[in-house]
Structure 1
Amino acid sequence: MGWNGERRRYVVTFFRVLLVLLAVVQTTAFQGVKLKKKEHRNAYATMMYMGTPRDYEFYVATRVLIRSLVKLQVDADLIVIASLDVPLRWVRALEEEDGAKVVRVENLNNPYKGQENFDKRFKLTLNKLYAWSLVDYDRVVMLDADNLFLEKTDELFQCGQFCAVFINPCIFHTGLFVLQPSREVFKDMVHQLETGKENPDGADQGFIGAYFPDLLDQPMFHPPLNGSNLYGQYRLPLGYQMDASYYYLRLRWRVPCGPNSVITFPGALWLKPWYWWSWPVLPLGIQWHENRRQTLGYAAEMPVIIVQSIIFLGILAMTHLARPSISKLCYRSSDKTTSLIQTGLKFMAIWSILAAYIVPFAIIPRTIHPLVGWTLYFLGSTALSSIAINSFLLPAIQVFVPLAGIFGSLLVMAYPWYPNGVVRALAVFGYAFCYAPIAWGSVGKVMARLQVSLEREQFLPKLAESSPTSGFNKLY
């Protein structure tokens, strides 16, 4: 019993020491989380809301934006102003995985939704006004999800009450601006919404532009003098260079940020950088995806990519193996099919080819890497085209000519040594001008071959016969 009692004491002592060590580790880990969530005087903020067909795409874009700031170790909090209907799993991912602080808000009512020129996709963009309610911070850089940070831009927090970048001589862009939060300004903005303040476009761009109408006449933005804050409205001297549907935001003058610190993609909605088909139409789109690859990754899309690849490869294998069986249906008959049947079959053949080029765009996940997306697109188009080729006995080379043309245009657009966007556009136009006769000639050959097959009834037996007699069989 003595030995057992001694052993029992050793065991109890061991577990006590173990519990103490666990407590120390937990305390240290908790203190580490506190340091990570340390409050800052300033913040970078963006917004999320639901109700569009592209909610998931903008969720991914928001995470990439946040991760680009985390990667640069900016001296500011990262805020996401999210409407109450944003899924909780997205909120948890932003907070726990990305290190952002999510502020849940109710959607601001948009009184301009009845305007004649109102675009429904901008219905909830007025939630951006909540940036002025973040009064715990001295300055807030408000961002759209289509921004990507390449270098630290914490000098932006030296702004006065409001700073913005002009996208043309008269209009500033609300996709990136700096503000001083204020309850009074926020309440006044909401009041002017309720009273129907004039808004050219019914969205945040028109409202904020109308709220700060004299910004163009204000002094240039510059750092505080003698450590004091500057008050008033200021233009943010961000130089920009237009190229296709994006521009560089280059910090210059007295703001000590390097060139090309921020890339903004404010162009057409379907040419945002997170869509795989936007590159190489947008050359800098690959920079966005490279940043995503290094931070967020593509794990969410990979299961779908693998399944679709297997399906496309299976279609190719099945059409190749089934071709001899299809050929056995070919025969020559003295009776001609009616013109109505011939017209219907032509229609089916043409649409099957068009579907082979269109369907992959609809089913491939939109937010995958462009190199993966285009590879899967060519695989899918080849697989679906093989169905039309083998079903209607069409010439494969001519059917694949448009696909080869698309591939060539991508190479022309991706050429990395164009001196500017104008030369690049001229190169694409020249390529299209030279390739158009080849594509048109291939269409003519496909139609001619289809007509011959119809006249000889080469690819379908007569509808009135269950099976052709052996005397009429002819293999091709």
Structure 2
Amino acid sequence: MRALILLASMCCIAALIKNVADAFGVHQKIWEPKRPRSTQAYVTLLYGDEFLLGVRVLGKSIRDTGTSKDLAVLVSDGVSMDAIRLLEADGWIVERIELLSNPNQQRPARFWGVYTKLKIFNMTQYQKVVYLDADTIVVKDIEDLFQCQKFCANLKHSERLNSGVMVVEPSAELFDDMLKKVSTLPSYTGGDQGFLNSYYPDFPNAQLFDPNLKPDQRTPRQMERLSTLYNADVGLYVLANKWMVDGSQLRVVHYTLGPLKPWDWWTEWLLKPVDLWQDIRRSLKRSLPGTGGGLVPHDRFVVGVLSVLPVFFVAFLIWYRRRPPNGVRTPLCNASLSGWMRQFRLYRTVLGVFSAAGNGANYQNGHTKHIALISIVVCFVLALLSAGEAFHLIPRQVMPWTGMLLLYEWTIFLFSLSFGTFLGLLYDWGKSTSSSSSPPYKGHSKQASIWDMETTSYGFGMAALTLLVPCLPFLLGITAMFARVGTFVGAGMVLAVFMTYSAQNLGVRWFLLGREDGGSSLDLMNH
């Protein structure tokens, strides 16, 4: 009986450990690599989780062509176990590898481990592999690439081969020879691509690969060049706003514009070809819980919090202002945060400096221009800081519209709070410099509120123009990147003019409102 109880206890403990392990993303299957199912494979590399979404979209684009070949991904130690689980759920064969160090001293920091790409030449478990960078997608069947010779790649405009798409016949001898020469052959890029150009110096003279030839019509060669159809460069598309080849015949699209990767939400607002990538991304299935559409549970949670937090905060301020606890008005009952800010020493110190600077000044006879100038500068600084902080808060790989709406929501939210507090500071400054002889300000209402009609009109005007800036190129049907940027700049200048006009008027208005309220209070005290 004791033995049965002990066995049952051990089984319960084992089940508990398994549940905890699954909850934290630990899965024993990831340490047991799947065996190759075919003699040919599509291969890519993954150095860290940042490119995980790119690999997922690449795999989906390949599977959509109906291939039966293996999909293999070489992953380094920088890839998390959760990412490996997700790749395996997507159907990738995951192979862990160690990075090859870069022997070049003069190289970009991000090129530290790029020589690891040479390991595809040592994948001798396959007779032939088609390598694709993680920032590529397949838009049409490319099974004919497996008919290519021992080494195939595409030449770019500089007459140098590009290592983003390659066909390789793996060989242990070839790989060993490469390793012997990595420290002696020069690399014009400081990375693997420059090395391969040195290792295959005659590649520009190679024959062009013809996919229409039958196997018995092919002449054995060491190398063949691939058409641009198999490696369409988005960088070249941007220059001409069109593909350099027939767009309907494209096979592989390569997003080569440095930091502008298609998984970053803001790139679709600049580059028309990113639409192709995003269409495939939206069709990603839910391989693991919360991973549909290319999102991960962490990003979903962050997006949810960012979406509702400003709404809850504003609703709380409105409710607290209208229904103060126990009928006692508190600093939070003010429409802006200036009342709450009065509790802080820094706020009182700044207000004291402003008051000392303003004592004795005749603000009705030209000195309000200084208030206007200060308001303009503060308005633009706060707008830039609000946009920068909002951009920083948003996960990089959310959907483009999600990212833009969150950027808009948080920029308006942060700017409204910060600039509203600044207007409250000007109001308090005006009160501290007032006298009973202060002339009334036209348009003053007894219950001064940051939500009055004039202030609200300026606020809605700035909000509407802020929304119009990113949307205008799409409303006008502009697709060229430089034209889109130009439209952004033009619309941004209109927004800047309106912000200048609004800031100076609001700053002067709230300062003079404070002076009048302060003067009215003094009159009441004198009486």
| TM-score tier (shorter) | 0.7 to 0.9
1:159 shift after superposition: 0.9
Query: Alignment partner for residue 325 of structure 1, among 318, 330, 334?
Result: 334
Rounded Cα–Cα distance in structure 2 between residues aligned with 1:154 and 1:37: 21
Q: Which residue in the other structure is 1:47 paired with?
A: 45
Query: Alignment partner for residue 282 of structure 1, among 267, 271, 282?
Result: 271
1:228 shift after superposition: 6.2
1:363 shift after superposition: 0.8
Asked if residue 439 in structure 1 is aligned to residue 469 in structure 2, the reply is no
Q: Which residue in the other structure is 1:391 paired with?
A: 421
Rounded Cα–Cα distance in structure 2 between residues aligned with 1:37 and 1:263: 29
Whether the aligned pair in 2 keeps the contact of 1:248 and 1:262 (CA below 8 Å) is: no
Asked if residue 207 in structure 1 is aligned to residue 195 in structure 2, the reply is yes
Deviations 1:432-453 (A, max 9, x none): 34x3552332232244236526
Q: In 2 relative to 1, CA 336–416 (structure 1 residues): closer, same or farther, beyond 3 Å? A: closer
Asked if residue 337 in structure 1 is aligned to residue 324 in structure 2, the reply is no
Alignment of structure 1 residues 177-326 onto 2, 5 Å: 177-193=166-182, 195-222=183-210, 223=213, 225-226=215-216, 230-239=220-229, 240=232, 242-244=236-238, 259-269=249-259, 271-296=260-285, 297=293, 298-300=295-297, 301-320=299-318, 322=321, 325-326=334-335
Deviations 1:262-299 (A, max 9, x none): 22111021x21101111121223233222122114225
Q: In 2 relative to 1, CA 440–280 (structure 1 residues): closer, same or farther, beyond 3 Å? A: closer
Give the aligned CA root-mean-square deviation in angstroms: 3.9
Asked if residue 449 in structure 1 is aligned to residue 447 in structure 2, the reply is no
Q: Which residue in the other structure is 1:144 paired with?
A: 133
Q: What's the secondary structure of 1:295's corresponding residue?
A: coil
Whether the aligned pair in 2 keeps the contact of 1:305 and 1:364 (CA below 8 Å) is: yes
Whether the aligned pair in 2 keeps the contact of 1:164 and 1:235 (CA below 8 Å) is: yes
1:175 shift after superposition: 1.2
Query: Alignment partner for residue 75 of structure 1, among 68, 74, 77?
Result: 68
Q: Which residue in the other structure is 2:474 paired with?
A: 414
Asked if residue 110 in structure 1 is aligned to residue 102 in structure 2, the reply is yes
Whether the aligned pair in 2 keeps the contact of 1:276 and 1:373 (CA below 8 Å) is: yes
Q: What's the secondary structure of 1:365's corresponding residue?
A: coil
Higher helix residue share? 2
Q: In 2 relative to 1, CA 175–248 (structure 1 residues): closer, same or farther, beyond 3 Å? A: farther
Asked if residue 429 in structure 1 is aligned to residue 486 in structure 2, the reply is yes
Rounded Cα–Cα distance in structure 2 between residues aligned with 1:327 and 1:407: 23
1:92 shift after superposition: 2.5
Q: Which moved more, 1:303-312 or 1:61-70?
A: 61-70
Q: What's the secondary structure of 2:216's corresponding residue?
A: helix
Rounded Cα–Cα distance in structure 2 between residues aligned with 1:179 and 1:145: 17
Q: In 2 relative to 1, CA 431–344 (structure 1 residues): closer, same or farther, beyond 3 Å? A: closer
- Could you tell me which runs of 5 or more consecutive residues in structure 2 were left unpaired when the two chains were aligned: 1-33, 286-292, 322-331, 340-350, 360-370, 424-449
Q: Which residue in the other structure is 2:363 paired with?
A: none
Whether the aligned pair in 1 keeps the contact of 2:154 and 2:226 (CA below 8 Å) is: yes
Q: Give the residue type in structure 2 aligned to 1:202.
A: G
Q: In 2 relative to 1, CA 430–197 (structure 1 residues): closer, same or farther, beyond 3 Å? A: same
1:227 shift after superposition: 7.1
Q: In 2 relative to 1, CA 315–291 (structure 1 residues): closer, same or farther, beyond 3 Å? A: same
Whether the aligned pair in 2 keeps the contact of 1:46 and 1:144 (CA below 8 Å) is: yes
Q: What's the secondary structure of 1:291's corresponding residue?
A: helix
1:86 shift after superposition: 2.5
Asked if residue 361 in structure 1 is aligned to residue 391 in structure 2, the reply is yes
Q: In 2 relative to 1, CA 430–91 (structure 1 residues): closer, same or farther, beyond 3 Å? A: closer
Q: In 2 relative to 1, CA 416–364 (structure 1 residues): closer, same or farther, beyond 3 Å? A: same
Deviations 1:365-387 (A, max 9, x none): 11111111112221112221221
Q: Give the residue type in structure 1 aligned to 2:501.
A: K
Q: TM-score, normalised by structure 1?
A: 0.75
1:144 shift after superposition: 1.0
Deviations 1:40-94 (A, max 9, x none): 1211111112xxxxx3331121122122222333131111111234323322322
Q: Give the residue type in structure 2 aligned to 1:308.
A: L
Rounded Cα–Cα distance in structure 2 between residues aligned with 1:427 and 1:79: 38
Alignment of structure 1 residues 82-93 onto 2, 5 Å: 82-93=75-86
Q: In 2 relative to 1, CA 417–357 (structure 1 residues): closer, same or farther, beyond 3 Å? A: closer
1:400 shift after superposition: 6.3
Rounded Cα–Cα distance in structure 2 between residues aligned with 1:37 and 1:346: 65
Rounded Cα–Cα distance in structure 2 between residues aligned with 1:83 and 1:266: 22
Q: What's the secondary structure of 1:391's corresponding residue?
A: helix
Q: Which residue in the other structure is 1:8 paired with?
A: none
Q: In 2 relative to 1, CA 212–417 (structure 1 residues): closer, same or farther, beyond 3 Å? A: farther
Q: TM-score, normalised by structure 2?
A: 0.68
Q: Give the residue type in structure 2 aligned to 1:157.
A: F
Q: Give the residue type in structure 2 aligned to 1:354.
A: L
Rounded Cα–Cα distance in structure 2 between residues aligned with 1:350 and 1:303: 32
Deviations 1:130-183 (A, max 9, x none): 000011222211111111122221111111111112221512221111111111
Query: Alignment partner for residue 122 of structure 1, among 94, 111, 136?
Result: 111
Query: What is the number of equivalent residue pairs in this alignment?
Result: 413
Rounded Cα–Cα distance in structure 1 between residues aligned with 2:241 and 2:216: 34
Q: Which moved more, 1:227-236 or 1:300-309?
A: 227-236
1:360 shift after superposition: 1.5
Q: Which residue in the other structure is 2:364 paired with?
A: none
Q: What's the secondary structure of 1:388's corresponding residue?
A: helix
Rounded Cα–Cα distance in structure 1 between residues aligned with 2:462 and 2:156: 37
Whether the aligned pair in 2 keeps the contact of 1:162 and 1:233 (CA below 8 Å) is: yes
Q: Which moved more, 1:241-250 or 1:171-180?
A: 241-250
Rounded Cα–Cα distance in structure 1 between residues aligned with 2:215 and 2:488: 55
Whether the aligned pair in 2 keeps the contact of 1:46 and 1:81 (CA below 8 Å) is: yes
Q: Which residue in the other structure is 2:408 paired with?
A: 378
Identity %: 24
Deviations 1:225-254 (A, max 9, x none): 4176733111111244622289998999xx
Whether the aligned pair in 1 keeps the contact of 2:237 and 2:243 (CA below 8 Å) is: no
Q: What's the secondary structure of 2:137's corresponding residue?
A: strand
Q: Give the residue type in structure 1 aligned to 2:188.
A: P
Rounded Cα–Cα distance in structure 2 between residues aligned with 1:447 and 1:429: 25
Q: Which residue in the other structure is 2:366 paired with?
A: none
- Could you tell me which runs of 5 or more consecutive residues in structure 1 were left unpaired when the two chains were aligned: 1-35, 50-54, 463-467
Q: Which residue in the other structure is 1:22 paired with?
A: none
